[in-house]
Amino acid sequence: MKKYLSAFFALLMLVPSLSMAGSDTLIWGRGGDSVMLDLAQATDGESIKAGIQIFENLVKFGNDSMDVEPQLAESWDVSKDGLTWTFHLRKGVKFHDGTDFNAQAVYDSFARIIDKEHPFYGYGKWKYLSLSLQYVTAIKIIDDHTVSLTTQMPYAPLINNLALWLCPILSPKAMAEYKDQIGMHLVGTGPFKFVKWVKDDHIILVRNDAYWAGAPKLEKIIIKSIPETSTRMMALQSGAIDIADDLDPDAITLVKKTPNLVVKENASVNVGYIAMNTSKPYLADPRVRQAISHAVDKNMLIQTLFQGLAIPAKNPFAPSIWSYNDEIVPYDYDPAKAKALLKEAGFDMAREIELWAMPVSRAYMPDPVKTAELVQAYLAAVGIKCKIVRHDWGTYLQKTGNGEHDLCMLGWLGGNADPDNFLYGLLSADTANIPGASNVAIWKNAEFTDLVKKAQKTFDKAQRTEYYKQAQVIAHDQAPWLPIAHTKVVRCFNKSVQDIPLRPNGLNSFEMVWKK
């Protein structure tokens, strides 16, 4: 027996080893697996990262910015009443299955999301309607290469929504064939074709040689899930992977010091904030909220907890988004002023308020518990007693939506990079109704709400900008939030990888990437 075993192992040693990936294969390591690759049903970043290599939309964001650019639509125009959008589609584009991209494909891809009568409607769960086609009432095929969308009211942010992952164009043939299994049979028009997906392990994509903008340079992309950060870091160092996403600040510092590795940074579109529940009588006075804003030293939070990978926030959205009001003077760190404001407002110093700490870390809040502890200490320094409360994530979202908290930490990645997404979605009176409030400050300011609703119906960008700038002034003065930080997006990769794009939301298609 022993003899056979040794012979077996000796033979095995003689077997040649498998080759490593070649220079036209990109191995991309990340912290988690995708959940759902039919992007119209996806809600997580890991799904979008992989899916946007395969699918394209009518319009897209810039490679390194959030400005909307043409993609499958070459141009578009809006009717005078602001209700009808007409898109002129690119000609000669083919899906990965060889079928033609045309107006019918746009119709089927969109109608399956909003039209309950459409045969494909039942094949999926269309979760984020408010960010995609909520206000679209009709989709009309004008000719083979022209499509129009009608909205129930003039809705300017629609064009940004169409650039979001939620509005991909799929092959109608594939949708009819694979029905509710479309999420495992992905047929788009993008630069890479789907090959296979081993769950929790890796996704393989290959070059689409017939890509309308010219075949991409990489032959193959392997997207590999490596959940443990240290393993992912070591894989990047040893050259086993070319890109490592989701590294922690310590690892990023190490990457910066390693000669054959590169870190690329860009301003993000997210915001981390502490919402102050204005429906609680003791937080209803704006002076109390201003006092809390003066009591916290954001710069210190960013240096220690974000390790410098963020900029302090003074507005509800990041400077990378248009209409950011840079004239606003942030509340400076001034405990004396905070105490004076509290006294003026007659705040009951004996009262203990609750600060809810998020149970999960997010890019916009990398260490929620330590952040809560620091804020607790800052508030204690001005005489506000505060207790840290924790719930699991599902409960947390539910209860904050019910307005059960005093102060709560939360954040938002404004995927469509439209100010409306932050100001209307997170701060208008319309979204402050419990239960299920997304305006967790439960802040109902009529003037503010009026401005952001007017902006939704305005198609002149200069005029919209003006409304949003005014709205930001109100949000600053009334202080329903203590905005903390906008983190930077970071991508760490091997020096051999060239032309890596980095959009402020961290989600890019890799058609231009190549390896030395």
Partner 1 sequence: MNPSFIIRRLFQLILIVAGVSVVVFFMLRMIPGDPAQLLLGELASPGELASLREQLGLNRSLPVQYWIFVKNMLMGDFGFSIRTGTPVIQEILPRLMATIELSAAGMLIATVFGILAGVMSAVYKNSMIDYTAMLSALVGVSVPVFWLGLMMIYVFSVHFQLLPMMGRMDLAVERFPITGLVLVDALLHLDFAAFKDGCLHLVMPAITLSTIPMAIIARITRSSMLEVLNQDYIRTARAKGMEERVVILRHALGNAFLPIVTVLGINMGLLLGGAVLTETIFSWPGLGRFVVDSLMGRDYNAVQACILIFAVLMALINLMVDLLYAFLDPRIRVNED
> Which positions lie near partner 1, rule CB under 8 A?
11-12, 15-21, 25, 27, 35-36, 41, 43, 124-125, 127-131, 180-181, 183-184, 198-202, 204, 222, 224-228, 230-231, 234-235, 237-238, 240, 391-395, 397-398, 401, 410-412, 425-426, 431, 433, 435-436, 438
Closer residue to partner 1 (CB): 4 or 80: 4
Asked if residues 168 and 132 have their Cβ atoms less than 8 Å apart, the reply is no
* Residue found under tokens 């629609």: 158
- Closest CB to partner 1 among residues 330, 435: 435
The nearer residue to partner 1, 224 or 405, going by C-beta atoms, is 224
Going by C-alpha positions, the residue among 293, 271, 269 that lies closest to residue 407 is 293
Q: Which CB sits closer to partner 1, 176 or 349? A: 176
The residue to which tokens 């954001």 are assigned = 298
For residue 191, the SS3 value is coil
CB of 299 to partner 1, least distance (A): 26
Compute the distance between CA of residue 494 and CA of residue 200 in angstroms, rounded to an integer: 24
DSSP conformation letters of 79-122 = -TTS-EEEEEEPSS-B-TTSPBP-HHHHHHHHHHHH-TTSTTGG
* Of residues 249 and 359, the one with the C-beta less far from partner 1: 359
Q: How near is the Cβ of 329 to partner 1 at its closest, in Å?
A: 29
We find the least distance from the C-beta atom of residue 476 to partner 1, in angstroms, to be: 22
State which residue, 176 or 195, has the beta carbon closest to partner 1.
195
At 281, the amino acid letter reads P
Q: How far is CA 396 from CA 391, 411, 499, in A?
A: 5, 13, 40
Q: How far apart are the first and last CA of the chain?
A: 50
Q: Is 30 helix (H, G, I), strand (E, B) or coil?
A: strand
Computed on alpha carbons and rounded to an integer, the radius of gyration of the chain in Å comes to 25
Query: CB of residue 12 vs partner 1: minimum separation in angstroms?
Result: 5
Q: Which is nearer to partner 1, 206 or 474 (CB)?
A: 206
- Alpha-carbon distance of 408 to 491, in angstroms, equals 30
Residues 6 or more apart whose CB falls under 8 angstroms from that of 413 comprise: 45, 268, 269, 270, 363, 364, 505
Confirm if 311 and 484 have CB atoms less than 8 A apart: no
Which candidate, 304, 338, 284, 281, places its Cα nearest to that of 484? 304
User: Judged by CB, which is closer to partner 1: 234, or 512?
Assistant: 234
CB of 380 to partner 1, least distance (A): 28
d(CA 4, CA 18): 25
Question: Using an 8 Å Cβ cutoff, are 336 and 382 in contact?
Answer: no
In whole angstroms, how close is the CB of 75 to partner 1 at the nearest point? 31
Shortest distance in whole angstroms from residue 346 CB to partner 1? 34
Which CB sits closer to partner 1, 200 or 352? 200
CA-nearest of 451, 421, 440 to 481 is 440
CB of 178 to partner 1, least distance (A): 12
Measured from the CB of residue 255, what is the shortest distance to partner 1 in angstroms? 15
Tokens of residue 186, six digits: 């992905």
Contact call for residues 263 and 317 (beta carbons, < 8 A): no
Rounded least distance, CB 77 to partner 1, Å: 30
Nearer residue to partner 1 within complex by CB, 75 or 230: 230
Q: 339 phi and psi, to 5 degrees?
A: -60, -45
